[in-house]
Structure 1
Amino acid sequence: MEATEIEARLEALDGWRLSPDGQAITRRFAFKGFARAVEMANLAAWLGNRRNHHPDVRFGWGYCEVSFTTHDAGGLTDADFACAARLNDLVA
């Protein structure tokens, strides 16, 4: 995916940023406490299973960070942006 297309698509995704290596998009969700962070991690995992496009998820007390990349393609594809948009819809 071209850098200009990635930039344009990121503008439409609230809260998502490009990884430093340009291979993934990431969003960090903030919460009060641990239980909400776990729930967010589970939601991201559920979405990944549902779409057969599994994110990398990191979480701890007060945060959950979700990253999408297409490992087989070696970078970003439509599937990454579609999953990020759907996750945004689910938490809105």
Structure 2
Amino acid sequence: MSDLTSKTCSACEGFGAALSEAEIDALKAQLDPAWEVDLESQSLTRKFAYKAFAKAVYTANLVAYVCDKEGHHADISFGWGYCHVTFTSHELGRLSENDFICAAKVDAAA
């Protein structure tokens, strides 16, 4: 499997084969272990913890930049001491390779 950070997100057009659990496991293995897959909600989440507010804001801005560059956008929440990032392919209603590509790029940037 090629390095996820070398890939770019493709357009989600509402069709295509769903990732199997084996494919999800293989893609997740390429990420920081802090990422959690929720098969029920079809999402990929990472929770960053800090001892202050500024780093949480910086992380949220970094994730927003990566997402904007890829054209695949995360749900981001942050506050004092935390930044939570969740990827899902809303158009597809399930996880896609795009979610894992963006997560890998967030890992590389963070």
| Cross-structure match for 2:49 | 30
Higher relative contact order (CA 8 A, sep 6+): 2
Correspondence for 2:83 among 64, 67, 74: 64
Determine which structure has more spread, i.e. the larger CA radius of gyration. Answer: 2
Q: Gaps spanning 5+ residues in structure 1: where?
A: none
C-alpha change, 1:76 and 1:87, in structure 2 (3 Å) is same
Q: Which structure shows the bigger proportion of residues in helix conformation?
A: 1
AA aligned opposite 1:83? C
User: % of aligned pairs identical?
Assistant: 44
| Cross-structure match for 1:42 | 61
| Cross-structure match for 1:8 | 26
Correspondence for 2:104 among 77, 82, 85: 85
| Cross-structure match for 2:11 | none
User: How does the TM-score come out when normalised to structure 1?
Assistant: 0.92
Q: How many residues align?
A: 91
Alpha-carbon distance, 1:19 to partner: 2.2
AA aligned opposite 1:76? L
In the TM superposition, structure 1's runs of 4+ consecutive aligned residues that sit over 3 Å from their partners are none
User: How does the TM-score come out when normalised to structure 2?
Assistant: 0.78
Q: Gaps spanning 5+ residues in structure 2: where?
A: 1-18
Correspondence for 1:53 among 72, 81, 84: 72
